Structure 1
Amino acid sequence: MYINSGYWHQTRLDFKDKKHPLFIGSCGTYRLYTVKRLPTHRPRGRLDYQLLYVASGKAHFYFSGEEKIIPAGNMVLYRPKEEQRYYYYASEQPEIYWVHFTGNNVKNILRKYGITDDTRVIYSGVSMEYKRLYLAMIQELQMKREDYEELLVHYFMQLLISIHRQILTKPRKKSPMLMDEMDRAVDYFREHYNETISIETYAAEHNISVGWFIQNFKQYTQTTPAQYIQSLRITNAKLLLETTNYNVSEISNLVGYENPLYFSRFFKKQCGMSPVQFRKQLLTADEKNKDKP
């Protein structure tokens, strides 16, 4: 299981903030590989809010005792003191992002962005932008640089704006067959992102036109197939830089780039720093955290 998370003041305890309109307490992500089942049950809920994003696979949530299977492309909102009960299964390859937040004006902020008081599940669509914002919040909570608390709110507001735009879009009702086709494509790219993938070949093998496929894939994921594959490569490159000792050339090859120089340049364009600088930044943050009491 892969876990990456950050907590305000290094505490996992939930809390209610009354001083700020909005305050971010923690943020993280889970990916299940070997752990077969990951359950969470908080009968009395928490003091804060939680917004979970199902980026890949599926997750099982219980509302008023009834199970609801939530597929990728949806978010789940828990409010303070609501019972929280949900399960992840490795066989369904879930990738989950979550953020806990509190404040004295949260209800009105959520309403402003189209999230009503009775909303539990929000159709968000699958988007790498959501992942980018969650990962940015995780990094800020881990590194705790100057003004990070303010920046956390900024990233979270960006997330709410993206959700609101999706709500207002009200996309045409998709047929189950079309949704299944896009789900299969997302799963295929996620499993083969580090291989040479031809969008034209994929479309031909599935008896669909290239133009139709790109158009519907973009409407489903908010990005093109090529951009989606590139984002998967960069996301997994970050994971390898953080969790392994592989050098940049090895990581370049592992995520699907034959040319390490091209990989480094593209990584810098996407992340604002080279792979070497990214790893160095993480190591510096770890050392600072170790020194804290």
Structure 2
Amino acid sequence: MDIFNELSEFIALRLKSCWSIAPGGDWIEHKAHADYDLWLIQSGTVSIAIGGILHTAQPGDVVFFYPRVPYIASCGEEGCRFIYVHFDYGIGEQQQILGDFQLSGIVDNRLIREEAGLFVRAFAQSEQPGGKPGNRLYLKACLTAVIARIIALHGQGRYSGAFQNGTATRRSGRDLDILQPVFRYIDDHLHKSIKMNELAPLAGISEKYFISYFKKAVGITPGQYVYQIKMNRARDYLYQKKYTVQQIAGFLGYPDPFTFSKAFKKYYNVPPSKFD
């Protein structure tokens, strides 16, 4: 799950629509969404059948649907009320990166109460007549916090989505598992110049196909990935205030401090000597 932290600068979240609905006890919905869908249950009990398995969401729970997964949803006799959100979430050109992880399911309200509460309050503010234009931006920020919390819970082993019955909805040619040895190698060899002909064999892929495979899986090229990781580490080293620019350049495989400073300034818009 570290990929989301390492590549946070490349993450793009697009909030497409957000509404609150209150269906009655006779409500039944048969559907498969074209994008990611999130339901924040406000009241009542919502039953969701996927692949013949019935799941139940209670007030405060967050329901996370992946695209193109058919489901049947209904609520009890008392009806229900929930906020639903359609959104896209991607890294670079990989616009459905979350599908490579088992996140789709019902997140217990005890695990996500703070983030879900922020979103619900932000939604209420955005619905007020004459609301400020910034309310939509804040709503998007709160949705980002909800997704980040789900990712963190999964990374900590505290949550695993149950909608796929143990199988993530990966797409052919976009399986991040194959690239795990590549990620580890890059992290262990930042002190040197990393070549594509070193990385391709680690994934069992021909050098000719490796760059396109990597970009489809991760959303950016291997070169962009290596550069991003090096800039992340450079930032961390500078924050520690223990190393000179020359030392950091050596740690990250740059031939001299000038080359490193040029690369750093291109990314952060300030030289390392003035980074604060």
Instruction: Please state which band the TM-score falls in when normalised by the shorter chain.
Output: 0.3 to 0.5
**Higher CA-based Rg:** 2
| Length-normalised TM-score, structure 1 | 0.40
